[in-house]
Structure 1
């Protein structure tokens, strides 16, 4: 039964608990057993939450008493270790924060708990949540459950690996340029970055540059991220960027009243080469949507092709992040790993370059605004290439040698502009690694993203594949 439980999604678990066909204690024990069995190989879980089993026992008592149950009653969940959890270690991937225990939950964590979910563990981030790989001096390197020699990505790599390996059905990650969507693609799960401001960032560190940071759900099904999104979103009275809009409809399970218009692009499409296997996967997803009755056509977005979004993001975030990193690392120089060192050693961005970067974002926003007058959805790669081996200095993509940071080229534009974007698996590389596609829509159009992703999930050729670890 344990194997069955740890492959269920959060929605299914909550349904079975509500019908008294599955016990919260059984669910928690199954996931704790799974963690004990596979985490030594993955190093995705860095802290078990005290009181998880006691929480499951209380949840079981509530079921027996006939109490009203929340939509995630008794469901375990994990949280990236850059996000605060009351009474549970939150060490931010750095010896500088060794032993740090917050007194309060991040807003999104509190909201999941209020829905009945039970925190089971914290997951590994890179140092300060600032890298495309998940490793640090405090809790070490996380491995990809599809191949231990490969990275699960970053910075929510521990979260994605834990969910893909069945140690958690649902998790909370964060995203500055790729950190939800890239790890989701590398490990074959679903990661959802809603419109900037939908999810309050209260309780997340670092807070800068907050106009680009996003918090979001990660899971093995689209319906799970849709449910978590509906529970986590909305202003909290503390984060000045958090926004509201009429309703939080997820769009999942509803029928369209008109034919949705989908544009897809892969190569050319972003600033640099795209692996042919990734291109083929995006094309296959486009064909699947066409077969489902959507209006689908290949598109070009010249501004996106010509804008080095990674450089734009670096020039802007470095100016804000460096002072914060200098403050927290003062007197702790021997405890700084390579990720923070990159930020600390970077020269200041000249003001002319800073202004040019801000204007580049404006051009991207204008281009997307014009695009979404004509289309409902943009379908594109998540990453230009599948997961790579740990620690590569260069990556060869379609015959071209690029920096490993090129992995962010198809996600950074949507972080810079704050648009909703979802990553999900739709293919497999020749090396047996997941390949994802990215579903993007206009600002506040989360229902459209989730509806299209839900349809793709139904017809996905890889829907039932899981790591064999």
Structure 2
């Protein structure tokens, strides 16, 4: 039973608990056992939440009493260690914040609890959630459960590794440029970065550049993403970017009344992409065509005019460095490699910053035009499968690029605030997961959730898990 429970998704676990085919205590204990068995090799979990089993017992008593219960009643979930969790340490991947215990939950954590979910653990991340690999001086490096010599990604690598390895069925994470989608692709799970502001950032740190940060769920199935998103979206009266009414959707829904128009690409200004990644995207496009979707190969001129990664870098340095200076003042000896590298980056001039902002506006204009003609876009999540630890540069098609190039395919949708979903659809020649990314127009999450569910049902790698 324990092994089976570790492979059930959150939706199934909630049903098992509701119908008393499994108890919440059994479910929580199965995941605690899995953490004890697997995490010493993976290092995804940084803190276990006290009281998870007590909460599970209370959940079982509520079911037995016939009480009204929430959609995730008794189901455990994990949270990236940049989210505040009342009474549970939130240390942000840094010795500077070691032992920090918040008094209140982040809005998204509170909403999960109100749905009946039980906080199980906090998961690893890079220092301050700023890098493409989850490694830091306080809690160390997270390994990929598919291959311990490979990264689980960043900045939500601990969350992705925990879910992939069966330590958690569902998690909360944040995304500045790649951070839920890249780790999901690296470890073979699914993740949703909703439209900017759909899920409040209240209680999540850092928030600069604030307009680029997003909160999103991570899970093993698309239906779990849909369920979690339905519980998390909507204003909280505190985050000024979270203003769209709860439940609003501009998408086509699960039963569109006309054929969906999908464009797909593997380059169009995004730079070189690994051949196996490109082939996986094309295979996903052909699969959706066979399922009745109107699929076309496309280019997006706006991506070719303004390099999103360059725009992001100029914007990011200008807005993040002052925050970094403030929190690290007097603690410079406790900074990890990547933070030191960021601080050593030359400051962005006001002229370059303004030009970057104008470039982002052109990107938004370009995507506005694109989504007049198409309902969704299919492209790579990352330019390569899960990379080796400590990546600094790599070579594709004879071109040597720096490590940041891995996120050239994700960062456009943080800059523009468009919703984007990552899911697995292939496997590399050395056995690593390969993901694809689906993007829709602003507030059209239902479109990509529908397409992802369809693609998942036809996936050649459905229900494959790491052997670890």
Q: What is the deviation of 1:342?
A: 2.2
Which string of whole-angstrom CA distances, capped at 9 and with x for unpartnered residues, describes residues 318-347 of structure 1?
112111111111111110011221222222
Retained in 2: the 8 A contact 1:188–1:435?
Answer: yes
Distance 2:420 2:142 in 1: 25
Question: Is 1:78 aligned with 2:87?
Answer: no
| Partner secondary structure for residue 149 of structure 1 | strand
Are the counterparts in 1 of residues 250 and 443 from structure 2 also a CA contact under 8 Å? no
Alignment correspondent of 1:198:
198
Give the C-alpha shift of residue 255 in structure 1: 1.9
What is the CA–CA distance in structure 1 between the aligned matches of 2:106 and 2:252, rounded to whole Å?
27
Q: Deviations over 1:382-410 (max 9, x none)?
A: 01110111012221223322111101100
> Whole-Å Cα distance in 2 between the matches of residues 386 and 400 of structure 1?
17
1:233 is matched with 233
Q: How far, CA to CA, are the matches of 2:252 and 2:299 in structure 1? A: 28
Equivalence for 2:303: 304
Which residue is equivalent to 2:444? 445
SS at match of 1:150: strand
Distance of aligned partners of 1:362 and 1:252 in 2 relative to their CA distance in 1, 3 Å threshold = closer
Check the 8 A contact 2:263/2:378 in 1, yes or no.
yes
SS at match of 2:17: helix
1:162 correspondence with 2:154:
no
1:375 corresponds to 2:374: yes
**How far apart are residue 253 of structure 1 and its match?**
8.4
Residue deviations 1:156-178 (CA, integer Å, cap 9, x gap): 00000000000000000100000
Q: Are the equivalent residues in 2 in contact too, given 1:5–1:27 (CA < 8 A)?
A: yes
Per-residue CA deviations over 1:136-168 (Å, capped at 9, x if unaligned) read: 000000000000000011000000000000000
TM superposition shift of 1:252: 10
Give 3-state SS (helix, strand or coil) of 1:160's partner: helix
> Distance in 2 between the 1:232 and 1:40 partners?
31
Tell me: CA distance 1:114–1:276, structure 2 relative to 1, closer, same or farther (3 Å): same
Structure 2 gaps of 5+ residues are none
Q: CA deviation at 1:207?
A: 1.7
What does residue 36 of structure 1 align with? 36
Distance 1:222 1:250 in 2: 19
Q: Is the 8 A contact 2:253 2:447 kept in 1?
A: no
Give the equivalent residue in structure 1 for 2:464: 465
- Separation in 2 of the partners of 1:26 and 1:305? 53
Match runs of 1:358-373 below 5 Å:
358-373=357-372
- Structure 1 residues 246 and 331, CA, compared in 2 at 3 Å: closer, same or farther? closer
Query: How much does 1:277 deviate?
Result: 0.5
Deviation of 1:314 after TM superposition, in Å, equals 1.5
- Which whole-Å CA distance do the structure 2 matches of 1:455 and 1:398 have between them? 32
Q: Which residue of 2 aligns with 1:283?
A: 282
- Whole-Å separation in 2 of the counterparts to 1:53 and 1:151: 31
Match of 1:122, SS state, is: strand
The C-alpha deviation readout for 1:272-323, integer Å capped at 9, x for no partner, is 1011101110001001110110110100112213432122111112112111
Q: Is the 8 A contact 1:152 1:186 kept in 2?
A: yes
Q: Is the 8 A contact 1:281 1:426 kept in 2?
A: yes
Tell me if the contact between 1:181 and 1:382 (Cα under 8 Å) persists in the aligned partners: yes
The question of whether the paired residues in 1 share the 8 Å contact of 2:250 and 2:444 is answered with: no
C-alpha separation between the residues in 2 aligned to 1:346 and 1:359? 22
**2: distance between equivalents of 1:380 and 1:36?**
37
5+ unaligned residues in a row in structure 1: which ranges?
A: none
Structure-2 residue corresponding to 1:418: 417
Contact 1:251/1:451 (CA < 8 Å) preserved in 2?
Answer: no
Deviating more after overlay: 210-219 vs 306-315? 306-315
Alignment-derived partner of residue 177 in structure 1: 177
Q: Give the SS at the match of 1:111.
A: helix
Distance 1:248 1:118, change over 3 A: farther
Per-residue Cα deviation, 1:87-146 (whole angstroms, up to 9, x for no partner):
001000000000000000000000000000000000001000000010000000000000
Contact 2:234/2:246 (8 A) holds in 1:
no
In structure 1, what is the Cα distance between the partners aligned to 2:258 and 2:379? 22
Q: Which moved more, 1:289-298 or 1:236-245?
A: 236-245
The answer to which of 401-410 and 90-99 deviates more is: 401-410
- Structure-1 separation of matches of 2:376 and 2:254: 17
Matched length? 468
Q: Any idea what SS the aligned residue of 2:303 has?
A: helix
For residues 132 and 353 of structure 1, the distance between their equivalents in structure 2, rounded to whole angstroms, comes to 24
Quote the Cα distance in structure 1 between the aligned partners of 2:399 and 2:414: 25
SS at structure 1 position matched to 2:147: coil
- Report the more deviating stretch, 27-36 or 330-339: 330-339
Are 1:230 and 1:250, in contact at CA under 8 Å, matched by a contact in 2? Answer: no
Relative to structure 2, which stretch is displaced further, 350-359 or 248-257?
248-257
Aligned CA-pair RMSD: 1.3
String of CA shifts for 1:174-202, please: whole Å, max 9, x gaps: 00000010000000000100000001000
